[in-house]
A and B are shown apart, each in its own frame.
Chain A
Amino acid sequence: MNAPTRSLYCLGLRCLAAAVALAASAGVHAQNCTFRTAGSPISFPSLDPSAPSTVTASMNVGVRCLPASLSPTWGFSGANGSAPLRMKHATQNAYIPYTITATFVSGSGANETWRITGTLLGANYVNARVGAYSDILTATVTP
C-alpha cells in the first residue's frame, strides 16, 4: 500500500518541479509591472464653452512593480485616436482632444498607487458641439 502512495507523492513532486520550472521560464518574459486594480472612469466636470478654461479629472490605480526599484513606463492609447487622444461625441463625428499624465502618489514595489489625470484645454471645447463625449483609454505599464 506504500508503493502507490509514494509513487503518487513523487508524481506530485514532479508536478511541483515542472510548475517551478514553468514559472521560472515564464519569468524571463513576464511583466515586471502590472496593474493591481482596475481603473475607474475619468469624468470631467461639465464643460461650459462660454467660460472656457483648462479642466482636469483623475482617478487612482494600483500598480505592482517588482523588483521595487523598477519604475513603470506609461503608455496611453485611445479608441478614437492616440495622437492626440480624443473623446467622440455620442452621436456626431465631433471630437474633443485631451491629454493624459500619470503621476506617482504613494507606496512602493508591490503596492504602488498612481494617479492618471486627464486635461482638457478651454480652446479645445469653446466651439465644441453640445452633448456628451467619451473615449476608452487604454493605459499600459512596462516593463
Chain B
Amino acid sequence: MVRPALLVVALVACLAGETHASANVAVSVNATVVPVCKFFTAAPVVNIRNVGSSGRNIDPSSAVTATGNAAITYRCTNQTMPTFIVPAAVTLTCGGCPGTPTMPATITSTNNGAGRGLGTGGGRNRTLTVTGQITPAVFQNARAGAYTGTMTVTVTP
C-alpha cells in the first residue's frame, strides 16, 4: 500500500516541474520620451534702430521709436508646449562714453510657432522673436556712442 502512494507523489512532482518550462516567455518593453525644449540659435543679437532697415543706429532727433528684433530658433519634443522666460527690460550701457551712461530698452517676445513642438530633429524648427524698443523720450538726450546689454532668454521644459 505504500509504494503506489509514493508513485503518485513522484508523478505529481514531475508534472509540477513541467509547468515552469516553456519555449516562450513574455517580456514587457518600456520607454519614455521626455519633454524638452532647446534653442538652436547660438548668439542672437537684437539691433535696435530707427534709421534704415539694418544696422543699429538711432537718430536722437527722430520721434520714431527705435526697434529691433532677433529670431531665435528652438525645437521641442514632439507635442511639447514650450514656456519662455523673457525679461521685460534690459539696460544698455555705453562702455566707451564718459560716465558710461545707460538707456533702458523694453523687451517683448512672440512665439511665431505658437504651438507645441514638432520634434528635435533637423527641419523641426520653431521661432521665438524677441523685440527690443527704446522710446524717443529715452534716447533724445542720450550721449552719442554704442550701447550694449545682455539678457538671458530661457525656454522650458
Q: Do chains A and B stick together as partners?
A: yes
Interface residues on chain A, size class: 35 or more
CA gap between A9 and B78 in the complex, in Å? 74
**Min C-beta distance of A9 to chain B, whole Å:** 6
Q: Indicate if B126 sits at the interface (CB-CB under 8 A).
A: no
B31 and A120 contacting across the interface, CB-CB below 8 Å? yes
Residue of B nearest to A34 (CB): B21
Contact across chains for B119 and A128 when beta carbons are under 8 A apart: yes
Is B24 touching A8 in the complex (CB atoms < 8 A)? no
Name B123's closest neighbour in chain A (CB-CB): A127
Q: Are A140 and B23 in contact (CB under 8 A)?
A: yes
With A35-B25, A42-B29 as given contacts, are A127 and B120 in contact (CB-CB < 8 Å)?
A: yes
Contact of B119 with A40 in the complex, beta carbons under 8 Å: no
B155: shortest Cβ distance to chain A, in Å? Answer: 11
Assess the A134–B25 pair: CB atoms within 8 A: no
B75 touches A39 (CB 8 A): no
Contact A116 B27, beta carbon cutoff 8 Å: yes
Out of A36, A40, A120, name the residue touching B21 (CB < 8 Å): A36
B21 touches A31 (CB 8 A): yes
Give min CB distance, A2 to chain B, whole Å: 12
Inter-chain CA distance A98–B7, complex, in Å, is 50
- Number of B interface residues at 8 Å Cβ cutoff, please give it: 34
Say if the beta carbon of B54 comes within 8 Å of chain A: no
**In the complex the two chains form, what is the Cα distance from A139 to B77 in whole Å?**
32
Closest to A15 in B: B7
- CA–CA, A43 to B33, complex, Å? 12
Distance between Cα atoms of A44 and B48 in the complex (Å): 48
B34 at the interface (CB under 8 A from A): yes
Query: B75 near A50 (CB under 8 angstroms)?
Result: yes
Q: Which residues of A contact B34 (CB under 8 A)?
A: 46-49, 130
CB < 8 Å: which of B7, B21, B24 contacts A64? B21
User: A9-B3, A132-B31, A139-B24 are known contacts; what are 16 more A-B pairs with Cβ within 8 Å?
Assistant: A15-B7, A31-B22, A36-B21, A41-B28, A41-B30, A47-B34, A48-B34, A52-B121, A87-B30, A130-B35, A130-B78, A130-B80, A135-B28, A136-B27, A137-B26, A139-B25
